[in-house]
Amino acid sequence: MGKAGLPVSPLAPAAFPDLPVIEGVQFASAAAGIKYQGRTDVTLIRIAPGSTVAGAFTRSSTRAACILDNQAKLAQGGDAPQGAAIIINSGNANAFTGARGQESVDAVTGAVAQSLDLPQGRVFSSSTGVIGEPLPHDRILAVVDDLVAGLQDAGAPDAARAIMTTDTFPKGAAAVIDGEGGPIRIAGIAKGSGMIAPDMATMLVYVFTDAAVPADLLQQALLSGLDSTFNAITVDSDTSTSDALILAATGRAKAAPITDLQEPAGRAFVEALHGVMRELAHLVVRDGEGATKFVEVAVTGAASEADAHKVAMAIANSPLVKTAIAGGDANWGRIVAAVGKSGAEADRDRLTIRFGDMVLAENGWRAPSYDEAAASAYMKNAELRIGVDLGLGQGARTVWTCDLTHGYIDINADYRS
Amino acid sequence: MGKAGLPVSPLAPAAFPDLPVIEGVQFASAAAGIKYQGRTDVTLIRIAPGSTVAGAFTRSSTRAACILDNQAKLAQGGDAPQGAAIIINSGNANAFTGARGQESVDAVTGAVAQSLDLPQGRVFSSSTGVIGEPLPHDRILAVVDDLVAGLQDAGAPDAARAIMTTDTFPKGAAAVIDGEGGPIRIAGIAKGSGMIAPDMATMLVYVFTDAAVPADLLQQALLSGLDSTFNAITVDSDTSTSDALILAATGRAKAAPITDLQEPAGRAFVEALHGVMRELAHLVVRDGEGATKFVEVAVTGAASEADAHKVAMAIANSPLVKTAIAGGDANWGRIVAAVGKSGAEADRDRLTIRFGDMVLAENGWRAPSYDEAAASAYMKNAELRIGVDLGLGQGARTVWTCDLTHGYIDINADYRS
């Protein structure tokens, strides 16, 4: 069972992965009773002195107070000579809470700064849950001392669980690569299940590495991976007020510092980082509210990459495509309609549609080799790949989504109350 | 029961309206067995010599063969000195059917032209139903003679039923206004239930008037009404390949011809026409697949009309807003999130959200007068009004949508097979 009493997604991995300990990062979780009693709902993460921090946040014009605060703090730069911290709560998004929203952020980050002897400008925060309710921040303040006392290197799995809302499983991903002179470790946790159509990053994601990376390069490595990871997933086309991805590098690895992202060591780091980001993004889709199918939509041959993105997202967000997938119906006509509405340049007579390796449609017409029985059999898989080639140019984009089922309606028709 | 065996929408009007006969327009319907046996699925409409015709069609880049054909024919002008005809089938959209799609259109419109002694360029056609299957046009050709023999002035209700697919009730609307020297009658029928996010017009709409209106003015009167009617509704954000609105004016009314849309007689005609269009658009939403609530989203105070449209559609298309409405949950936080993701200029601290006359949120914060019990009670209504004022400018837009329920999943998880 997930934290909210929902059955675990059939697309969940068998187990939470073994995350490597990132030296210089410690976690603690506590139950503050923000929305429910008896569940861990606050997480504190301490990041060692000398680390660098990068972040990406939602572009929603109604973004939450903590997002605005994080953005203001990171605008001062990503160096953390005295260290940094992140305090996260679930159960309440502290979004659309007026001036009181910022007061809550100040109270919570101020308390953490004092307890950990950090500048308040290096204490970041995230809140996820209901929008528009005041954050009962006194409940968080009441557990700060316990959190500080409980900080431990191996606390990431508990933290991944504490940040869940309608998630049905905790999400983590990691990579270990050979740096110059020693290994570099990257580990991240994420939450997200509904209100997933990220516009910069998704719900809450925290990634840590022991690599030594200057703040500007860290930010650059993060941003260059967004479009192919978190900005390439959608559960329900709804963008959250609270999307946040924070990345910290502690520099505690024995490996030589990363000083150039174009050099082999830098490229290997970026590739591993993006791999971890992609895996976390996929886990969010696998826990999409009500999801029973994990769907890759790969668009090629578009006039531009922007067009490929439009087409891929039009398909991945189409309620008619997603309900057909839920029903195991190889209804590729709905993919044609989604291509048509996308706003991207498209030519009916150059369009090719594949399910897995099967060509269903080509040259503006059902493929001669089309086999309804085989297509229907393919749709029974839990993991599907829809390929669309527009036959126009070199633009390509792959995105990931899930199906739209009765489970989504069950979860969302009465989530708040 | 609707034609497809679905229970009639709870939002359906009590009865099909009494449509006035439009002199010069005749209807006939027949069962051609295009997809199912024993259901009327083909409609023929004959329009008298001397009429004018106007049209609006989907902008989908994968639009159906009949749409391309209608657009080419109307590009030659809207005058029909020898008369015109429209032949419509349900059960098959003749979309994404390659060159064979146009061959089917030519065969069907050619047969009608021959039977009614009309130029083929004045025979328009519509097809609605499954995308990507070849249209079995021989079945339509087999009933053309029967259709011609059965043409009658009072056939609109049967026609409204024959064009249904997943619709649960036939849709008609009418207006009678005082022209100069006699009454002017306007009557229309529509179909539409799913794949409704029109981009010029919705599924299939046919409107007739006995007014005398030059073709260019008729087209202008039609286009000026689209944004506030069919382009202001959405059921599921999916734009059809087959949206079409055809309007014909027979000039058989005793009223003086309309010669200027700015003069009182012209203005009265346009207003009545737009009223019929709006009513038909509302009926499409009331028959939205699985709908149990009819929802008006009225946005005011936007920086521009385009921004107001973005915000209204972001709310009206949000799965999270629509599932909350289905569940009777006054979850206005999801409206805040939809405003935020819309891409329109918005300032959290100027935003006001109303349900009916109740102010729920203002000045970036829950309203002091907010009453959860009253808001929840309001949500039990079958007709809801969400008001959003952005507090920035004069841009305003009202759109209409329905809720997202288990019924939508039921209908669409296995519609094709």
DSSP of A69-126: HHHHHHTT-SEETT-EEEEEEEEE---S-HHHHHHHHHHHHHHHHHHHT--GGGEEEE
Residue A399, in any domain of the structure: yes
- What pLDDT does A417 receive? 41
Q: Which residues of B touch A239 (CB under 8 A)?
A: 337, 340-341
- Given a contact cutoff of 8 angstroms between Cβ atoms, the answer to whether B193 and B4 are in contact is no
Compute the average pLDDT of residues A381-385: 95
Digit-coded pLDDT (tens) for A147-181? 999 999 999 999 999 888 878 889 899 999 998 88
What CA–CA distance (Å, rounded) separates B137 from B69? 16
Q: Which of A69, A347, A366, A409 to mutate to test the interface with B (most CBs of B within 10 A)?
A: A409
- What pLDDT does A277 receive? 85
Q: Note whether B178 and B298 are same-domain residues.
A: no
Q: Note whether A51 and A185 are same-domain residues.
A: yes
How is residue B348 annotated by DSSP? G
- What pLDDT does B390 receive? 95
- Given a contact cutoff of 8 angstroms between Cβ atoms, the answer to whether A66 and A94 are in contact is yes
Residue A10, in any domain of the structure: no
Min Cα distance B328 → chain A (Å) is 7
Min Cα distance A327 → chain B (Å) is 4
Q: Which residues of A touch B328 (CB under 8 A)?
A: 414
B62 with A95: Cβ contact below 8 A: no
Q: Which residues of chain B have pLDDT under 70?
A: 1-4, 195-203, 414-417
Q: Which residues of B touch A415 (CB under 8 A)?
A: 324, 329, 331
- pLDDT surpasses 70 at A198: no
A409 with B332: Cβ contact below 8 A: no
Q: Which residues of B touch A240 (CB under 8 A)?
A: 337
Q: Note whether B282 and B299 are same-domain residues.
A: no
- What pLDDT does A199 receive? 58
Q: Which residues of A touch B234 (CB under 8 A)?
A: none
- What pLDDT does A288 receive? 85
Residue A11, in any domain of the structure: no
Q: How confident is the model at residue A2 (pLDDT cuts 50, 70, 90)?
A: low
B52 residue type, one letter: T
A382: domain CATH number? 3.10.20.340
Min Cα distance A370 → chain B (Å) is 12
B153: domain CATH number? 3.60.70.12
Complex confidence, ipTM: 0.77
A23 class by beta-carbon count within 10 Å (0-12 exposed, 13-18 middle, 19+ buried)? middle
| Closest to B402 measured CA to CA, from B285, B284, B278 | B285
Q: Note whether B65 and B202 are same-domain residues.
A: yes
Residue among B202, B239, B292, B300 flagged as catalytic? B202
When divided into structural domains, chain A yields a total of 2
Count the neighbouring beta carbons within 10 Å of the beta carbon of residue B391.
16
Residue A15, in any domain of the structure: no
A340 with B405: Cβ contact below 8 A: no
How is residue A350 annotated by DSSP? G
Q: Note whether A339 and A203 are same-domain residues.
A: no
Q: Note whether B253 and B373 are same-domain residues.
A: no
Closest B-chain CA to A329: B414
Residue A13, in any domain of the structure: no
> Which among B239, B328, B334 is the nearest to A340, CB-wise?
B239
B60 with A351: Cβ contact below 8 A: no
Taking only residues 115 to 134 of chain B, the set having a beta carbon closer than 8 angstroms to any beta carbon of chain A reads: 130-134
Closest A-chain CA to B346: A61
Compute the average pLDDT of residues A73-99: 91
Min Cα distance A328 → chain B (Å) is 8
- What pLDDT does B44 receive? 96
Residue B1, in any domain of the structure: no
Residue A357, in any domain of the structure: yes
Does residue B361 sit at the A interface (CB-CB below 8 Å)?
Answer: yes
Taking only residues 55 to 74 of chain B, the set having a beta carbon closer than 8 angstroms to any beta carbon of chain A reads: 58, 60-63
- pLDDT surpasses 80 at A237: no
Q: At what angle do helices B305-317 and B319-326 cross, to 10 degrees?
A: 50
Does residue A194 sit at the B interface (CB-CB below 8 Å)?
Answer: yes
| Closest to A186 measured CA to CA, from A275, A317, A293 | A275
Q: Note whether B65 and B123 are same-domain residues.
A: yes
> Which among B63, B100, B336 is the nearest to A95, CB-wise?
B336
> Which among A62, A99, A349 is the nearest to B337, CB-wise?
A62
Q: Note whether B60 and B89 are same-domain residues.
A: yes
Q: Note whether B277 and B333 are same-domain residues.
A: no
B62 with A131: Cβ contact below 8 A: no
Digit-coded pLDDT (tens) for B273-330? 988 888 888 888 888 888 899 999 999 999 999 999 999 999 999 999 999 999 999 9
Does residue A103 sit at the B interface (CB-CB below 8 Å)?
Answer: no
| A202 is a catalytic site residue | yes
Count the neighbouring beta carbons within 10 Å of the beta carbon of residue A352.
18
Task: Look up the domain containing A396 and give its range.
Answer: 294-412
Residue B14, in any domain of the structure: no
Closest B-chain CA to A373: B417
B318 with A93: Cβ contact below 8 A: no
Closest A-chain CA to B131: A333
Q: Which residues of A touch B334 (CB under 8 A)?
A: 131, 238
Q: Both ends of chain A: CA-CA distance in Å?
A: 20
Q: Which residues of A touch B340 (CB under 8 A)?
A: 58, 60-63, 239, 241
What CA–CA distance (Å, rounded) separates A386 from A368? 18
Q: Note whether B158 and B245 are same-domain residues.
A: yes
Digit-coded pLDDT (tens) for A101-143? 999 999 999 999 999 999 999 999 999 888 888 899 999 999 9
User: Which of A286, A320, A335 delimits the end of a domain?
Assistant: A286
Q: Which residues of B touch A93 (CB under 8 A)?
A: 333
- What pLDDT does B200 receive? 47
B67 class by beta-carbon count within 10 Å (0-12 exposed, 13-18 middle, 19+ buried)? buried
Q: Which residues of B touch A195 (CB under 8 A)?
A: 320, 337
Compute the average pLDDT of residues A183-205: 75
B326 three-state secondary structure: helix
Min Cα distance A166 → chain B (Å) is 13
Q: Which of A62, A94, A417 to mutate to test the interface with B (most CBs of B within 10 A)?
A: A62
Does residue A193 sit at the B interface (CB-CB below 8 Å)?
Answer: no
Distances (CA, A) of B215 to B48, B66, B219, B248, B266: 14, 21, 6, 9, 14
User: Which of A231, A258, A286 delimits the end of a domain?
Assistant: A286
- What pLDDT does B365 receive? 82
Q: Note whether A256 and A372 are same-domain residues.
A: no
Digit-coded pLDDT (tens) for A307-343? 999 999 999 999 999 999 999 999 898 899 899 888 8
Does residue A327 sit at the B interface (CB-CB below 8 Å)?
Answer: yes
Using alpha carbons only, what angle is made at residue A410 by residues B130 and A160, rounded to the nearest 5 degrees? 115
A27 residue type, one letter: F
| Closest to A237 measured CA to CA, from A341, A133, A316 | A316
Average pLDDT in chain A: 89
- What pLDDT does B417 receive? 41
What does pTM read for this prediction? 0.81
Q: Note whether B108 and B208 are same-domain residues.
A: yes
Taking only residues 368 to 387 of chain B, the set having a beta carbon closer than 8 angstroms to any beta carbon of chain A reads: 376
Q: Which residues of A touch B199 (CB under 8 A)?
A: 341
A354 three-state secondary structure: strand
Query: Comparing A99 with B138, which gets the higher pLDDT?
Result: B138
Closest A-chain CA to B372: A417
- pLDDT surpasses 50 at A200: no
User: Which of B230, B261, B286 delimits the end of a domain?
Assistant: B286
Using alpha carbons only, what angle is made at residue B63 by residues B62 and B66, rounded to the nearest 5 degrees? 145
- What pLDDT does B279 receive? 87
Min Cα distance B414 → chain A (Å) is 5
Percent of chain A at pLDDT > 90 equals 52
Closest B-chain CA to A318: B238
Closest A-chain CA to B331: A416
Residue among A43, A97, A128, A202 flagged as catalytic? A202
What CA–CA distance (Å, rounded) separates B19 from B15? 12
